[in-house]
Amino acid sequence: MVGSRTRKGELKMRGFFLGASAAVLAFMGSASSFAQGNNADTYRQLDLLMEVFERVRAEYVEEVEDEKVLEAAINGMLASLDPHSSYMGPESFRAMQVQTRGEYGGLGLEVTQENGVVKVVSPIDDTPASRAGLKSGDYITQIDGSPVLGLTLTEAIDKMKGPVGAPITITVVRPVPDEEDEIFDVDLVRDTITLTSVSHRVERDAVGYVRVRTFNDQTTRGLKEAIADIEKQLGPDMVGVVLDLRSNPGGLLDQAISVSDAFLDQGEVVSTRGRNPRDTKRWHATPGDLVNGKPVVVLVDAGSASASEIVAGALQDHRRATILGDGTFGKGTVQTLIPLGAESALRLTTARYYTPSGRSIQERGIEPDIEVTQPRVTASGRVLKPRRERDLLGHLRNEQLLKDEANSEQSADEAAEPSPDQSSDQSGAEDAADVSPAEVIASTKEPKSDEAAGDAAPQMTEETAEGSESEQEKGDYQLNYALDLLLGVRKAVEEQTASADIKE
């Protein structure tokens, strides 16, 4: 039997329920448009929700916490939308604010949720998670012996965060192709996770290497400081810059825009489009190029997501940089934080990102101009297949892909043998559309062939992947390819200059 509740408790519950109802109605637009719509069924469903809630409160075998039950209802609603919409309670909301500022106590993991468990998108460099050897694609099934199945992603993240110095044990399932999954426990100690988003160094006495790990409030400033230091070291001898966005899960939209703007003089950087066409927003670059037009190579992989894809897409569309590596993650959606009171918020997917040329990043990602595959290899020598947005249950579809699929099905149904001339014309059009610009090379008027460059990419060996730290550094074939590309540009320029001098 349910015990009696005080009037104060009833008012608290009612206030929370009204807040939850407001969150539900927020999905439906303004009150006027909601009232004008066909809302009879919706009101009946809301009445049903309230009836179920009251039944649970009154008749469940144990007394329940009103807020806990209502939060579960909200989370269930959001989980039916897409993998990135969620409700943020007071603790998770505060944690998000701390993380955005660039520091929090935890393990150093970027995660998502799949099949009810936590999936690692990527570990953050130099954190307990990365030092323990956690990898992209790992699944976390238990935290301190308690299953994560049944928890929301926010709840699981909250359990992994905590006071600095506090121990934690997580159970990891690592998929292994054609073999049984590896299952093991990892003991870690929570640490202060300072999201130093930018690091840099000079490579081969000629190239500036800048790694951007995440896009937080410090990123643009860190990028400018990194370029300034590289230019101080190299002076006029700086050939170009490698911008490494691999395993960068994204972050703040404004930082992605400003990082893109740093290398662009003009033009659109990115646009976002929501359900209402009037909500379309566009951002444009301002005059000024941080490296004064010198060649840029951007490194990407399956762990490059969201804000990373905005930068790669903008620089690719403007032919300002050569994109090199693997296809990116494909998270092309905008999440808006909608405050619900002073201490909680709704993290709701409200729009999609589009590159300057109008490409949707969602599900498709950014395809590199030059594909250089660098497999992830397990200790047993097995190559892991990276997971992307399109592998997540409930992910939003790419509108253009849906149209292409529909057109393909229609064409198959109406199939008629094309004439040889028609076949030839179509083939040529497809070939022309598939050519990707490698602006670094084109800017020096050196003959380019992305296809040839891709064929020449060195192949990774298992021995190198499992070797010492120095061997692994030598085995970064994507970086080495980028460096060779930039140094090849310098050589081409020198040869052209020498040839011009001889002619004169």
Which residues are designated catalytic?
306, 317, 331
User: What does the DSSP assignment read for 167-202?
Assistant: EEEEEEEE--TTSPPEEEEEEEE-EEEE---EEEEE
Chain-centroid distance of CA 62 in Å reads: 41
Cα–Cα separations (whole angstroms), residue 268 to 99, 200, 261, 272: 29, 27, 9, 12
Q: Looking at the DSSP assignment, which residues form a beta bridge with residue 109?
A: 123
Contact 349, 338 (CB under 8 A): no
CA-nearest of 339, 355, 367 to 273 is 355
Contact 108, 386 (CB under 8 A): no
Contact 304, 248 (CB under 8 A): yes
Burial of 311 (0-12, 13-18, 19+ CB in 10 A): buried
- What angle (nearest 5°) sits at the alpha carbon of residue 337, between those of residues 335 and 340? 145
Contact 86, 75 (CB under 8 A): yes
User: E strand or H helix at 468, and its extent?
Assistant: none
**Strand, helix or coil for residue 268:** strand
Question: The tokens of 259 are what?
Answer: 């990082």
CA-nearest of 136, 113, 177 to 302 is 136
Contact 416, 216 (CB under 8 A): no
The 10 Å CB-count burial string (b at 16+, else e) for 80-100 is eebbbbbbbbeebbebbeebb
Question: The tokens of 341 are what?
Answer: 């009171």
CA-nearest of 358, 371, 356, 365 to 325 is 371
Cα–Cα separations (whole angstroms), residue 479 to 10, 300, 314: 61, 10, 21
Question: The tokens of 499 are what?
Answer: 């040839």
**How many angstroms separate the CA atoms of 82 and 399, rounded?**
15
